[in-house]
Structure 1
């Protein structure tokens, strides 16, 4: 049986796992408490001024309940807090604590080192081109249908 070429979503997923593994290993080596992939995703989209759990879920592309669980775990670790939303009495904003900001800065510095390692391995030009290509606007996801004979 021959192995088929990996599709692009699989390759992107494997690349994401490579970064996640390196980040989590680096943070643990620095003495930081471990977080889950979902908790790290919250930090990756959380603006400095904070936002609602619903907005975080929209930015990540997961259910609100998933984010709620991740956020409350991070609140328990002292990395996030919830405050009343000054624009709406019905909402609460999630934002980083001082400790959360410190950990986030360390994670960002760790990611910079990881990107440098990637540049050493595949070349700085390739790493720059990868960043450029992934930064291009893709537009809305297409709504496609495979013709019946192609399945």
Structure 2
């Protein structure tokens, strides 16, 4: 028995999980330290010169406490470090260590290969169209009234 068609947010979530699962399995198979999805998300939004934990939380869309936990787990693994913010004596920034940069570059290479697997499975034209559609500006989220 089939249910109602999945809406786009459900499909996006399943696609995100597919990529997350593939990346985590690939990194584990390569012998890298396991990281959580939240920890992996930190790397995706981290500036080269460093980023505050509050800004990381905002970019990822998680609480500051969750970002703090993810960051400190990565610091404990030797992948990130916390340094003084040169613009503010009361603040600190989080940035990658040399090991964190190596692991992040390996993850980026794995993601490119995973994207190629997806293109092989759904077709290069479909993968290109998907990337193009998701790269278009969507504007501000609308507020609609359901009938």
TM-score bracket, shorter-length normalisation:
over 0.9
Give the CA deviation at 1:125: 1.0
Query: Where in structure 1 do 4 or more consecutive aligned residues deviate above 2 Å?
Result: 143-146
- State the match for 1:27 in structure 2: 27
Q: Deviations over 1:93-123 (max 9, x none)?
A: 0000000000000000000100010010001
Q: TM-score, normalised by structure 2?
A: 0.97
Within-5 A mapping of 1:46-65: 46-65=46-65
Give the CA deviation at 1:145: 3.2
- Asked if 1:85 is matched to 2:85, the reply is yes
- Asked if 1:133 is matched to 2:133, the reply is yes
Give the CA deviation at 1:2: 4.9
Quote the Cα distance in structure 2 between the aligned partners of 1:139 and 1:57: 22
Q: TM-score, normalised by structure 1?
A: 0.94
Cα RMSD of the aligned pairs, angstroms, is 1.0
| SS of equivalent residue, structure 2 residue 10 | helix
| SS of equivalent residue, structure 2 residue 94 | strand
Within-5 A mapping of 1:55-134: 55-134=55-134
- Asked if 1:16 is matched to 2:47, the reply is no
- State the match for 2:144 in structure 1: 144
Quote the Cα distance in structure 1 between the aligned partners of 2:36 and 2:2: 36
Matched length:
147
* CA 1:2–1:115: 2 relative to 1, 3 Å: closer
| SS of equivalent residue, structure 2 residue 107 | helix
| SS of equivalent residue, structure 1 residue 89 | strand
Q: Which sections of structure 2, spanning at least 5 residues, go unmatched?
A: none
Q: Which sections of structure 1, spanning at least 5 residues, go unmatched?
A: none
